[in-house]
Amino acid sequence: MASRSGVFSSSVGTKIVIGITGFALFLYLLIHIAGNLMVFFGPAFFNRYAYVLESNPLLPLVELGLLAVFLIHVYKTLRMFLSNQDARPKAYAVKRPAGNPSRKTFASSTMIVSGLWLLVFIVIHVKAFRYGTEYEWPAGGRDLYRQEMENLSNPLMVAFYILSMTVVGSHLFHGIASAVQSLGLNHPKWTPRVLLAGKIVAALIAVGFMIIAAWVYMNQPGTGRVHV
Residue 1: pLDDT band by 50, 70, 90 thresholds?
Answer: very low
Contact 177, 194 (CB under 8 A): no
What letter represents residue 175's amino acid? G
Contact 33, 209 (CB under 8 A): yes
160/225 Cα distance (integer angstroms): 20
**Phi and psi angles of residue 19, each rounded to the nearest 5 degrees, phi first:** -65, -45
Count of CB atoms within 10 A of residue 210's CB? 19
| Domain residue ranges in the chain | 20-86+110-218
- Report pLDDT digits (tens) over 64-108: 999 999 999 999 988 888 887 776 655 544 445 544 444 566 666
User: How far is residue 30 from each of residues 15, 55, 59, 204, measured CA to CA in Å?
Assistant: 23, 21, 17, 10
20/11 Cα distance (integer angstroms): 14
117/187 Cα distance (integer angstroms): 33
**Nearest partner of 76 among 134, 150, 25, 139, judged by Cα:** 25
Percent of the chain exceeding pLDDT 70 equals: 83
- Report pLDDT digits (tens) over 196-218: 888 899 999 999 999 999 999 99
